[in-house]
């Protein structure tokens, strides 16, 4: 009797396991195939939020966000003191350098009593690092360490945004210096304004009157959230090497600020209610807590970046990232459309198109256009111009360049020469490959890139 019951239980369990894929497909259909345009707003918005959450969680699993956050923790440990030393020197010119310690205490508040110890140690390191006496070589090394941190942060954001091209050296130095100067100035300026307003006599007098006092108290709790969201907004707008729409950056910053507040409260509760970690890690307990909070902070920052990316590029939201990768024919077609747009703007005297402009014109995500532009640029067919080198012009005389040159550039992009050289020689296969190449060349003989740009249809199929 017992054996029969066991077999029946196993059979039911197996039936349930077999039904899991069908259940997953049903959930997928309910989430992604529903037409939101026909729904009322009270159904449409929850579904959109559910799609966004699903896409971000999928990105956590497949885009190595956790590994990127771990790498940023290591880089932060190496660069934190040099970064604060440079910020200290910059802020000293504004006369607000004494605000670094309160800012660190606020950022490390979830660490509880450990925050005071860690902040004191960091400030001691910064005080002992005299930027003025380092000399030119020492200052360059200090500056290089900070630039390396900023570069790795940009690389992590570019990974989340599916961007392959990084800023060049000139752009990095210019943009990173701007961040190092403007970032601390904006943050401490906002903190100073907030402190001045809250300590003003008029505000204190109004706070003694109800219900104004309750409103002022609530406002005092909300202001730190807005300050955090403002800092995230600045990062999301500036760090990715692409144009980020303010609406998308604001969405990511709002979500990241909420997650930061929740994580801070949860982490503070963990530190306060788990004294055993000190017995386990002994003298390394403070370092362990600090590393864990750094990891959580970077995870939150990258999660907000993923939210901003999906808000700006909803095409990526409902599909597996691999499903949006183009095949050979798709890459060739997009390449010809890109060449057509660039050439048409050039020969008609219009402004050179940018990566985002081309993506918008072709109705595809920038992550699809960018590698094709890189392949065409590597082949010497187009060149980047402009202050940010994000606009494109023909780099060769297109009236003498055959259309097949653009196809060869795409077919040869990211080629594995060693693999091809090791392939076995088969005469039948070689004949087929040569026949395909000859037929393509024969069909396009006499057509140049200029012909494609001028005679091309205005519509996009």
Q: In whole angstroms, what is the distance from residue 235 CA to residue 421 CA?
A: 46
Residue with the bigger pLDDT between 92 and 319: it is 92
Of all residues in the chain, the percent with pLDDT exceeding 90 is 6
Confidence of residue 247 (pLDDT cuts 50, 70, 90): very high
Contact present, 51 and 318 (Cβ < 8 Å): yes
Give the pLDDT mean for 214-222. 66
Q: Which of 173-182, 192-201, 347-356, 393-402 has the lowest mean pLDDT?
A: 192-201
Give the pLDDT mean for 229-258. 89
Q: What's the pLDDT at 209?
A: 65
Average pLDDT, the chain: 75
Residue with the bigger pLDDT between 449 and 433: it is 449
Give the pLDDT mean for 29-52. 70
* Paired tokens of 337: 């459309």
Q: In this model, does residue 133 exceed pLDDT 60?
A: no
Q: Which of 34, 65, 22, 19 is nearest to 321 (CA)?
A: 65
Which residue is it, tokens 């709790």? 221
Q: In whole angstroms, what is the distance from residue 280 CA to residue 63 CA?
A: 33
| pLDDT tens by residue, 284-305 | 667 778 888 889 989 999 999 9
Give the pLDDT mean for 362-367. 78
Residue with the bigger pLDDT between 314 and 137: it is 314
Give the pLDDT mean for 215-235. 76
Distances 387 to 168, 170, 233, 318, 394 between C-alpha atoms, Å? 12, 10, 24, 35, 17
* Paired tokens of 324: 């949006």
Confidence of residue 432 (pLDDT cuts 50, 70, 90): confident
Q: What's the pLDDT at 460?
A: 39
Q: In this model, does residue 337 exceed pLDDT 50?
A: yes
| Sign of the Cα pseudo-torsion (411, 413, 415, 417, in order) | positive
Q: In this model, does residue 1 exceed pLDDT 70?
A: no
Give the pLDDT mean for 438-460. 74
Q: In this model, does residue 448 exceed pLDDT 60?
A: yes
Q: Please name the helix (run of DSSP H) or strand (run of DSSP E) that holds residue 391, with its range, or none.
A: strand 391-394
Contact present, 165 and 384 (Cβ < 8 Å): no
DSSP string, 92-105: HHHT-GGGHHHHHH
Q: In this model, does residue 47 exceed pLDDT 50?
A: yes
Q: Please name the helix (run of DSSP H) or strand (run of DSSP E) that holds residue 385, with its range, or none.
A: strand 382-385
Of all residues in the chain, the percent with pLDDT exceeding 70 is 66
Q: In whole angstroms, what is the distance from residue 395 CA to residue 349 CA?
A: 16
Q: What's the pLDDT at 148?
A: 82
The residues, ordered by sequence, that sit 6+ positions from 358 with a Cβ below 8 Å of its Cβ are 338, 341, 342, 369, 373, 392
SS3 category, 165: coil
* Paired tokens of 148: 């390396």
Dihedral of the CA atoms 342, 344, 345, 348 (nearest 10)? Answer: 160
Give the pLDDT mean for 352-378. 84
Q: In this model, does residue 321 exceed pLDDT 70?
A: no
**What residues does 392 pair with on adjacent strands?**
384
Residue with the bigger pLDDT between 351 and 275: it is 351
Domains and CATH numbers, the chain: 2-62 (no CATH), 65-316 (no CATH), 325-455 (1.10.10.10)
Distances 448 to 256, 350, 382, 456 between C-alpha atoms, Å? 50, 20, 14, 12
Confidence of residue 416 (pLDDT cuts 50, 70, 90): very low
Query: In the chain, count of helices (H) and strands (E)?
Result: 19, 2
Q: In this model, does residue 320 exceed pLDDT 60?
A: no
Q: Which of 208-217, 246-255, 352-361, 439-448 has the lowest mean pLDDT?
A: 208-217
Q: Which of 16-25, 207-216, 288-297, 338-347 has the lowest mean pLDDT?
A: 16-25
Q: Which of 28-32, 40-44, 82-86, 379-383 has the lowest mean pLDDT?
A: 28-32
Residue with the bigger pLDDT between 312 and 110: it is 312
Helices (H), ranges, 239-365: 246-273, 276-281, 285-312, 328-347, 355-362
């Amino acid at each position: 009797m017992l054996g029969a019951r066991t077999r029946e239980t196993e059979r039911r369990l197996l039936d349930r396991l077999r039904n899991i894929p069908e259940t997953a497909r049903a959930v997928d259909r309910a989430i992604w195939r529903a037409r939101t345009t026909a729904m009322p707003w009270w159904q449409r918005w929850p579904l959109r939020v559910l799609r966004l959450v699903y896409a971000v969680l999928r990105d956590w699993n497949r885009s190595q966000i956790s590994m990127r956050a771990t790498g940023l923790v290591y880089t932060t440990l190496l660069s934190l003191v040099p970064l604060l030393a440079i910020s200290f020197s910059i802020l000293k010119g504004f006369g607000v350098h004494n605000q670094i310690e309160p800012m660190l205490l606020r950022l490390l508040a979830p660490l509880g009593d450990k925050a005071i110890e860690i902040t004191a140690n960091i400030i001691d390191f910064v005080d002992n690092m005299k930027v003025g006496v380092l000399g030119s070589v020492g200052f360059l090394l200090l500056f290089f360490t900070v630039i390396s941190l900023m570069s790795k942060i940009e690389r992590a954001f570019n990974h989340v945004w599916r961007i392959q091209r990084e800023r060049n050296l000139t752009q990095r130095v210019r943009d990173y210096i701007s961040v190092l100067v403007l970032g601390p100035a904006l943050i401490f300026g906002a903190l100073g304004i907030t402190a001045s307003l809250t300590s003003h006599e008029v505000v204190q007098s109004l706070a003694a009157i109800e219900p104004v006092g309750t409103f002022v108290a609530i406002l005092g709790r909300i202001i730190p959230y807005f300050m955090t969201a403002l800092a995230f907004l600045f990062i999301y707008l500036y760090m990715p090497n692409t144009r980020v729409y303010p609406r998308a950056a604001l969405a990511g910053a709002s979500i990241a600020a909420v997650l930061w507040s929740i994580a801070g409260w949860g982490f503070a509760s963990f530190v306060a209610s788990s004294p055993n970690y000190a017995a386990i890690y002994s003298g390394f307990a403070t370092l362990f807590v600090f590393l864990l909070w750094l990891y959580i902070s970077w995870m939150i920052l990258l999660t907000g970046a993923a939210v901003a990316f999906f808000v700006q590029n909803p095409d990526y939201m409902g599909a597996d990232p691999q499903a949006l990768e183009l095949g050979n024919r798709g890459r060739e077609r997009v390449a010809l459309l890109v060449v057509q747009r660039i050439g048409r703007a050039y020969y008609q005297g219009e402004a050179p198109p940018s990566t985002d402009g081309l993506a918008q014109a072709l109705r595809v995500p920038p992550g699809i256009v960018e590698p094709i532009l890189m392949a065409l640029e590597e082949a010497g067919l187009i060149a980047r111009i402009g202050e940010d080198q994000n606009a494109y012009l023909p780099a060769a005389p297109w009236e003498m360049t055959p259309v097949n040159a653009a196809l060869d550039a795409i077919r040869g992009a990211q080629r594995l020469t060693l693999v091809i050289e090791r392939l076995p020689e088969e005469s039948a296969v070689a004949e087929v490959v040569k026949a395909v190449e000859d037929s393509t060349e024969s069909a396009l003989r006499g057509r140049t890139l200029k012909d494609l740009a001028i005679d091309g249809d205005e519509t996009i199929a």
